[in-house]
Structure 1
Amino acid sequence: MLKSKLYASNDSIIRVLAESDGSLLVIDCSPATKAPRIVSATVLDDATEITESELHARTGVTPRQNLTDEEQAICQRRYTLISPVLTCLQDDGGRNRSIALIAERNGLSKRTIRNYLYLYLAYNTKAILAPKEIKMKELTDDEKNFRWALNKYYYTRFGKTLSETFTMLIKERYCDGSGKVLPCHPTLHQFKYFYRTHRSLQTALISRNGIKDYQMNHRPLLGGSVQQFAPCVGTGMLDATICDIYLKDDFGNVVGRPVLTACIDAYSGLCCGYSLGWEGGMYSLRSMFLNVVSDKVEMCRKMGITISDDDWACMDLPAILVTDKGKEYVSQNFTQLSELGCMIINLPSFRPELKSMVEKFFDLIQNDYKHLLKGKGVIDIDYQERGGHDYRQDACLTLSDFERVVVHSIIYHNTKRIRKSFPLTENMLAEGVLPYANTIWNYGKHQAGANLIKVSAEKLMLVLLPRTVGNFARNGLIANHLRYHCEGFVENYLAGGSAIVAYNPEDVSYIYLVEQGYRMFSLIDSRFISKSLYEVVELKRQQKEINAKCAEESLQGKVDLVRHIEVIAAAKKPAVNTNLKNIGNTRRIEESLTHKDFIKEVSNG
């Protein structure tokens, strides 16, 4: 059987396609551009059989390996085009008519069909029909200059336009020594065409605007939802914002804009707790955490608002706390929550979309009241623009008034705002869970994986107190330059040493020894009892200033004392022979001479 075998003679390579009665149907493989032909079998007498590898080496054509799925599909489609022709290879007329018909039906040229056919016959594999592998074309000198100019001037934070970049390109690369533009310079159209065909949008956005802007405003949003990050109840997202409204105090004086701090459960969207006040930082966080673990029904009752237990059934602390890198969230004070078992996740800077639940909460809450409180201190889009309205003049609500507004908005957010995008599971639908944050929370906190921590308000506040190093000494436990004592620590006072203590900046009357389960120590310096640490520092500062003012007068008094003593001492000199006998009798005589009746002295004036 000679079919499919390869033979080489001189510079010619043929493949046998068929054999019959001393004749052969062959195709020239070097090059594979001619139609199959019938030759006598004697042509093989002077020919040598070669392998497929030798064919590839001699022709310089090797069928591609490791084709992609798309390339394999192309090969199959091209083979399907020529397959009808394979049945009539020996009939030149039939072959040509078949090629013409295939070309007409598929909108291709007959030359294309012939090329596919000859390649397949010559190399005997469908892989030879694969499209040519695209190789990167080497850049011309002009294109290299284009790329240089784009990297140096366009892909930078300075934001030059393409026209400005082109100008810099001409100045640097297409001018002679005297600064004259060379006649052979490229055009702006060519430069822009190179940019459009080689640009990377991601590279342009990151290099011109920065990675933070790209991550925040441009990156592809390919995540499923926040539920992928928080698959169950117990992931709290924390943040704070300044409300868009000016408030007054009870006397009608404008105070400013309050700070709203909130903790939002990422799974259900429930507002676990909030804080509204004039102070931010750790103070607002302590207030917010205290609200998280407090009885919301009782809190609302004090404001004159009635809710049911299911409307805001959150009295536990989320075990995972997601925050940004604000100074209060990365402080040692905040990380002490890990002692309760909390995991703290600090997100990268300028990535608010990673805690989108709390960011959207602020947006929704403010949108609830802003259109209703216009003209009552709410700021508008022209805030701080030149000639804009001074919204401070409109302020009329107090902090307590506005807090009731915020609480009503939170209750609506928790109980009536539909969470359209929340993926209710089959079990939720079967149990009648409505698409509200509170119903999702009430369902989720009883499911496997719910990650909540029960903690008392007292323990939570002790954990959140600031800490310092205290030193044991004979005069007590010294912390913040104040002395404290507690029964049962005599050995510590005698041995000395240091310990971590928690203190309340609002009242220095007590400190708490952390290592002993927050054992309480009482203040020894009674004059500072019930005073804040700031007041203590201020009193000590004032006393220090008074002492400094009296230092000169005290020094002068000491100098005067020395002078008076020296004057008295100078008038007397020791006797040469001092009588040391009968000192006792001498003392009694002197006592009788100097003894006085003080009643008589007083009576005689």
Structure 2
Amino acid sequence: MNFYVNEILNEVQDNKYYRILWIDEGNKIAYIIDLNDDKALPIKRRISEMKEDILTGTIKKMKEDPYITNGDEEYSKKHIDTRNRAWEVIKDMVVDEPNIFDKQIRTNYTKEAMGKHGVSYPAIRKYLRKYWQRGKTINALLPDYQNSGARGKVREAGDIKRGRPSKYITTKVNVDEKTKQIFRVALEKYYLTSKKNRLTDAYNMMIKEFYAKDIYFEHGIEKVIIEEPENLPTIRQFRYWYEKEYTIPESIIARKGRKKFNKDYRAVLNNSLSEVFGPGSRYQIDATVGDVYLVSKYNRNWIIGRPIIYVVIDVFSRMVVGIYIGLEGPSWLGAMMAISNTVMDKVKFCAEYDIEISKEQWPSEHLPEILLADRGEFEGFNVDRLVDAFNLHVENAAPYRADWKGIVEKHFDLIQKRVKPLLPGYIDTDYQERGTKDYRLDATLTLDEFTKIIIRQILHYNQKHYLKDYVRDEDLVEDGVMPIPLELWNWGILNRTGKLKYFPEKLVKINLMPRDKATVTHKGIRLKGILYSCERAVKESWFEKARQKGSWKVEISYDPRNMSIVYLIDDRSNFNECYLLESSKRFENASIDEINLVLKNEKQTFKRVSHSQLQKEVDYLSEVEAIVKTAKKKKEEVQDQSLSKVERVGSIKEYRKAEKNAQRGEESFVLNNDNGIDQNTDIIPFKSRQETTSDYSRLSVREFMKKRKERDDE
């Protein structure tokens, strides 16, 4: 029975909830805090007593954590500034664990912060309490009034000027969209350039170019007369909208270049220390291209190329704590998969590939204190989001410094050597040499089958691989711990814990999963060519509304590894599961890569047959035109030009009746016996409108009308 920092404990009898704040290196003492007490302070507990309470049922562990604040994307700049000011007050004291939990030391820290930041004693205690109760992340300090006011909305420009009135200059200019566009042009033309002009210089150039009411010449020099002061935007307005629309990194990169920014101005998330104390002190993550060609599970004739293998390794124990195998190159998407796998229950993960293991065989389901990765793997993702949500610090290896991640790099070599002799389609050293074998033609395994092989190899590595180059410290030698990843991990959990962090799997995935806009249509919720539905959409008649009023967009989170279920995002923390509709059931349990391959193949097939289809359409048009042409010619030959329009249309009913009777006679069923003609069959003669034995010519319209009048008179 082990405890981890950030776990939630429920005291069953009083229904109180506590968070574990700190565990000592010897796994003897822990500090916890009451989550529902507005005046709570850290409480010291013995680990042995807590274990007893678990066994007796007095307390129990909670998987869900409703007290953690997710993300900062929904908050205004004002709220983020409030959070950052509070963090500045307490950031130096909260890292001094466990001293900060001592009342006297905490009081000294508080008095020092009061003098340094001008904050009251109760305010500092409130900051500390919120930080501890809400997950020990910077986002715990976000204000609780995030739903009040017009959060994140820009006020409409009206007749009355917005903002604080000026003391000295009376301006009537409201910054509307037209003015903001002028600001953008001026900033990008005069300020965000390598010339490094001052902001006031850019403002002056803007006034000269866009706010001139007249031009005159003095000594042959063209000069401008600018608008009156009340018709000009102020430098304060110009500066405000610059700071609102452009981030500091964007500005520095535009003015000094990306290389200079990376060298002298970027945020430094890593440090030079590489020592680790126990499990979870530091994970390393990296990706490599597998040296084997794979085929699609939908059609084994389709060769889909080589897979990308992501591995996450705990530096202390060398145990593989997370993997991802797919077709995504080194990017945030692939890294996201690997990170989410680190917090996944490995028993459940292996069961997805029909591999049965126990919890003890692969016990890792935690986030580390530090994650070391390549910059490319986090390209396009805001790393601060991990810091804020999980207090997970990210270190980036420098370019061309693979040795910084030597542990995980070495493991890739081990994987390749282990599986090479057994796999068809595996690339040998003579790959791409002239006259050598084309290994692509030997491709046999699907992505799932290859993943199953790698999982088996990792299980063997974690449980049995002897790390001959692992340098054991004095404690490991004294306790007789073998340098095998799983044994090192288990020993570290018992003797050097405190760095591993537990977060609910759903919370981690929602923060990591990519998001995209889906379209609600009358056929379903369409995302990347796949149709979904969900309980909310059915209950609120979304699809009927879409058919009547048109489609609209919704935000969807999805796991690219399995598109059977996606998630409709309601707000920051709530979501609805969306399931495949019958028309898209063929994509069940398929990855986004395999689905894209199928859809791409279908489009290629359509393009191949589109030309022949077009030829058939053109042939059909020609055949119809020939029939129409012949019909027109016959009509011209027999058409009575003496008839008026009234006479031509006046007898449509009579003509239709005569035509119908004739058609009935032609279409009536006559069945023959033994393929011969029955001579005894009664023939029913068709009686025409006028019977004659000599004259079979057709009546004219006038004659027909006359005959009908005579019949009516009779």
Q: Answer whether TM exceeds 0.5 for this pair.
A: no
Higher RCO (Cα < 8 Å, 6 or more apart): 2
Range into which the TM-score falls when normalised by the shorter chain: 0.3 to 0.5
TM-score under structure 1 normalisation? 0.43
TM-score under structure 2 normalisation? 0.37
